[in-house]
Amino acid sequence: MTVSGLVITFMDTPEAASFALARLHEDARLLLGEPVANRLPIVAETADATSGETLVRELESIAGIARVDVISIDFAEDLDGPA
């Protein structure tokens, strides 16, 4: 499993931000933090690093999201290999 710390920046219009936030709430891979202005911290859990990259691209394509910043990535379990 790969755990990533992300920050979502929403578009400036409240309608666009509300639409994007609703979409984020639907995604079980995401743990949403408390919004600060037009930014939202997120913790994302994916099966592996490739899935994490795909998730970031998916988030970037959601209407109402201006950008996705990757703050941290924990590859620890990916590096450990099979148990």
The CATH number for 68's domain is: 3.30.70.920
Place of tokens 């202005």: 37
**Domain around 71:** 2-80
Provide the whole-model pTM: 0.86
User: Mind listing the pLDDT tens digit for each residue in 37-78?
Assistant: 999 999 999 999 899 999 999 999 999 999 999 999 997 655
Q: How far apart are CA 12 and CA 76, in angstroms?
A: 36
Structure token pair of residue 59: 């988030």
- The domain tally of the chain equals 1
Give the pLDDT of residue 78. 52
**pLDDT band, residue 31 (cuts 50/70/90):** very high
